Structure 1
Amino acid sequence: MWLYTAVIRPIIAYGAVVWWPRTKLTTARNKLQRFQRLASIATTGCMRTTPSEALEVLLGLPPLDLFIQQEAASAAVRLKSLNLWGASNGAHTMILRNAIEYQPLMMAPNDRVPKVYIFNRKYNIQLVEEENDWSRIHELRIYTDGSKTKTGSGAGVYSPEINTHISTALGEYSSIYQCECFAIIQAANAVAKRRITNQEIRIVSDSAAVLRALDSKTIQSGLILECHRALEVIGSNNLVTLQWIKGHSGSLGNDAADELARKGSDQKATGPIPMLPLPFGQLRSWMRQKTRTQHAEQWANTSTCRHSREVVPHPDARLTKRLLTLNRASLRIIVGNITGHCPLNKHLHVIGKTDSPLCRGCLSAEETVAHVILECEGVNTQRAQILKTTRSLREACGDTRRILRFWAELGWLDP
């Protein structure tokens, strides 16, 4: 699964922004599905008759044509943000219009900028925590923090030494990463506004991610670039150090900045929405959500996979996560239970591998997954001991540990 999603699928989707219209053709979609089916079967070890649609839902793989359209939309939005999207009216340009129709904020400014190389800085980055959190002689210490809650996001800056208590509301679309970065920008601007020179200034933040981005030789975030430039301004006349501190470690300064940031996240932002350029990750998240919605609609409207849809009525990321923690032998059994395509007499009879579809436990009904797990009197003892009071096939398949133990006790699905 990792090999397919991390290596093979990206190769297939290469240049999708140009050729994605081909995925609208039925012949192309069928070929793409057959290709993804190979990876699904290799991952699960399932029977060759298992429906592709069911395997995609269980493994969390959207149909390959939808994934290619998602990647094409991502590329189009990225090129648009970098002013590299031309004005042509070819069929492939519709992907950007479709993305904007789905989420109009795709047209809002985003944080991606052309790559900038930074080799010399007028400030220092210290990613090792200090033993003692207090100001040294002739040192100004400024604490910064960001916050994101269900109500919004905010940034806080605290420094009693320069009499700074800043709380800023940043709206619902700013990420915690952006809030942390914006707080450092505000701290640098506060120093510049007071015209402080020839001082040791230590800006303390609990965001190691932002500090590493500032310490990198390349910058592709507009907000990180703005932060770098603000630090360069105060670094030309002061000895500036950005210090990492562990969050919620008992630091009075960090706790005060955190309180100011939370206060900002609880307030309603005033100004244009979004307050900050949208993180490119948010745009990709919207496009993935669109793909998930389309996949769920296709699954709900399919005329096949009745057994699978009864157990898994909609794609379930938590179920997929549990399945992918199993070894291949166990995964094969669970997939067989959910899809009904497993070596029980009913299915073996359908594909011509056995003469009778009758259950080997009771000889009175067809041997299906539902019959054995829920009804068969011949396995009452095993059912009562292991599955307890299982009321539905969906409930039984949701407890992978018990269902695997049940089939191991019977030995009916052993290879």
Structure 2
Amino acid sequence: MIGKSWGLTPKLTLWLYTAVIRPMISYGAVVWWRRTLLTTTQSKLQSWQRLVCMAITGGMRTTPTTAMEAMLNILPLHLFIQQEAATTAVRLKTHKLLCSTGTPHIKILEDIAKDIPFMEAPNDGIQIKYIFDKKYKIQLEEDSRVASIGRDLSIFTDGSKTKTGSGSGIFSEDLNINISLPIGTYSTVFQAECLGILEAARTIGRRNVKDSHIRILSDSMSVLQALDSNSTTSGIIYECHNTLMQVGENNDITLQWIKGHNNTRGNDKADELARRGSSMTAIGAEPIIPLPSCWLKGQIRQRMKHKHITLWSEIEDCRQAKLALPEIDAKLARILINLDRRQLRLITAALTGHGPYNKHLFNMGITDSPLCRACMGTEETATHVLLYCPGVAAYRAQHLGTLKTLPEIFKKPKKLLKFLEELGWQE
């Protein structure tokens, strides 16, 4: 399916690898991840990942794997396996399925806890719960008339997250509710929105409201869809469901989606209360509520990305690639992976120096001289052609303009491609 100049697109090739091949390689990683600490294992894993890097970029056989991984922002395979082992261990521990038997493979949690202090904190994840009996209704379509229906008691809820913290807001003119609830720094917007609905249900119970038609309005479609589902693995969603079931015993409860920031008085007031809650100091030690599983997984991924960045900055090889790409750039990787095969092949050759440049071809024994064919004054390397060669100065000025350093040039891949295509120096 894949050749150097033909076959599947780079984007599709990467997708097949990350969605099909890599999960097969990392299967059961929580058991055998410690083998990835050995250099022999790392070398073997890298040789496997090299196959996909070459298939994506179409690079020359001498192109270094580490440079292609950095260029495409692909986590080295041994780090990915450690990441999968860590997330699996967290999930098993959350579900009380991870036993401390003294075997070394579960020590990955201890290693992570050294870098992520809250890894040992309570987790919002629970074993899957199936929900079929619901004493409340979910309305996922907006109906502007419901707020004015006299027989309904309306409660508006909202959630907010800022740099200072997270908060929930609950407002109701019918029940005289004005609540700003601070929930700490580490909660997500989803949790803040859900806690708003949960606190509204609790308030209904505390005030002993009975025999009423109550409509809880929220602008969080994701929370309402989670409550509408017949299963959940979130503790806060399950608690919200149970509380709604209790108040639904004596009331007709409807949860309805409402468009946010639509100049509805109740919704705007709930938003104001939520933002006030996010600016307040929560009472108690962080985290105030159990951490979401997505936050923990995100922290693990960030830890492995940092390790990848450290490996790239400390490696002594790939001098040309490190000059062009001093830091791993996820945005640039997204742009490159959407190029076609021919374009990405040209970029790879220019970034790594392993391409149709006389110096490299001379080292491989393909040409009889390393001198630049445009100026014949010095060795022809990618850096020389992109920055200094007087023989292509006119092309460089036309296509690259004021870009004077390799990092600046590679952040503008479309301009670089026009310059390379103009030269016509293709392998």
* TM superposition score normalised by structure 1: 0.98
- Paired residue for 1:115, among 128, 134, 138? 128
1:295 aligns to what? 308
Structure 1 residue runs without a partner (length 5+): none
Provide the residue aligned with 2:258 in structure 1. 245
Q: 1: distance between equivalents of 2:124 and 2:179?
A: 23
Pairing 1:26–2:44 present: no
Question: What is the aligned partner in structure 1 of residue 80 from structure 2?
Answer: 67
Q: Which amino acid aligns with 2:415?
A: R
Whether 2:251 is the aligned partner of 1:231: answer no
Q: Partner of 2:418 in structure 1? A: 405
Offset of residue 132 of structure 1:
3.2
Counterparts of 1:27-66 in structure 2 under 5 Å? 27-66=40-79
Higher deviation after alignment, 277-286 or 316-325: 316-325
User: Tell me, what secondary structure is at the counterpart of 2:283?
Assistant: coil
For 1:289 and 1:261, how far apart are their aligned partners in 2?
A: 29
Maintained 8 Å contact 2:320/2:383: no
Number of residue equivalences:
414
Partner of 1:208: 221
SS of residue paired to 1:142: strand
Deviations 1:67-113, CA, capped at 9 Å, x for gaps: 11111111111111111110201110211111112212111101100
Q: Secondary structure at the match of 2:148?
A: coil
Contact residue 188 and residue 230 of structure 1 kept, 8 A = yes
Compute the displacement of 1:133 (Å): 5.5
Aligned counterparts of 1:19 and 1:135: Cα–Cα separation in 2: 61
- Post-superposition Cα deviations, 1:112-145, rounded to whole Å, max 9, x if no partner, equal 0011001121001111111335231210010000
Q: Distance in 2 between matches of 1:143 and 1:135?
A: 13
Q: Distance in 2 between matches of 1:132 and 1:53?
A: 60
Distance in structure 2 (CA, Å) of the matches to 1:324 and 1:365: 33
Structure 1 position 270, deviation (Å): 1.2
Q: Determine the C-alpha separation between the residues in 2 that align with 1:140 and 1:254.
A: 14
Partner residue of 1:152 out of 129, 141, 165: 165
CA offsets, 1:142-172, max 9 Å, x none?
Answer: 0000000111100000001000000011111
CA distance in 2, matches of 1:86, 1:152: 35
Query: Which of residues 309, 323, 329 in structure 1 aligns to 2:342?
Result: 329
What whole-Å deviation, never above 9, does each CA across 1:303-326 have from its counterpart, x for those lacking one? 100111111112111221221222
* Equivalent in the alignment of 2:10: none
Deviates more, 1:168-177 or 1:248-257: 248-257
Deviations 1:249-300 (A, max 9, x none): 2211111100000000011111121011000111111111111111111111
Deviation track 1:186-235 (CA, whole Å, cap 9, x = no partner) reads 00011111111111111000111011111111110000000001110111
Contact 2:326 2:407 in 1 (8 A): no
Amino acid corresponding to residue 126 of structure 1 in structure 2: Q
Let me know the Cα RMSD of the aligned residues: 1.1
| Residue aligned with 2:150, SS | coil
CA distance in 2 between counterparts of 1:246 and 1:236 reads: 28
Q: Structure 2: where are the runs of 5+ without partners?
A: 1-13
Quote the Cα distance in structure 2 between the aligned partners of 1:250 and 1:332: 52
Query: SS in structure 1 opposite 2:275?
Result: helix
Q: Partner of 2:147: helix, strand, or coil? A: coil
What is the distance in 2 between the residues matched to 1:97 and 1:353?
52
Identity of aligned residues (%): 50
1:390 deviation in Å? 2.2
Partner of 1:360: 373
Q: Distance in 1 between matches of 2:98 and 2:147?
A: 50
Measure the CA separation in 2 of the matches of 1:264 and 1:408: 56
What secondary structure does 2:171 align onto? Answer: strand
1:141 paired with 2:154, answer: yes
Question: Using the alignment, how far apart are the partners of 2:258 and 2:332 within structure 1?
Answer: 37
* 2:360 paired residue number: 347
8 Å CA contact 1:153, 1:172 repeated in 2: yes
Task: Give the whole-Å Cα distance in 2 for the aligned partners of 1:44 and 1:133.
Answer: 56
1:85 matched to 2:98? yes
Structure 1, residues 13-35: CA drift from partner, whole Å, max 9, x if none? 11100011111122111110001
Look up the match of 1:308: 321
Moved segments of 4+, more than 6 Å: none
In the alignment, residue 393 of structure 1 is paired with which amino acid? L
Listed one character per residue, the Cα deviations across residues 387-412 of structure 1 (whole Å, up to 9, x for unaligned) are: 11221122112111111001111111
Distance in 2 (alpha carbons) for counterparts of 1:215 and 1:390: 54
Measured in 1, the distance between the counterparts of 2:280 and 2:337 equals: 41
Determine the structure 1 residue equivalent to 2:232.
219
| 1:337 and 1:397 in contact (8 A); partners too | no
Q: Partner letter of residue 294 of structure 1?
A: K
Residue in 2 aligned with 1:372? 385
* Separation (CA, whole Å) in 1 of partners of 2:276 and 2:402: 49
**Which of 282, 294, 302 is the aligned partner of 1:281?**
294
What SS does the corresponding residue of 2:328 show, helix, strand or coil?
coil
Give the drift of 1:334: 1.2
Counterpart pick for 1:2 among 7, 11, 15? 15
Deviation at 1:344, TM superposition (A): 1.4
Q: Secondary structure of 1:283's partner?
A: helix
Give the Cα–Cα distance (whole angstroms) in 2 for the partners of residues 54 and 251 of structure 1: 53
Is contact 1:145-1:257 (8 Å) kept?
Answer: yes
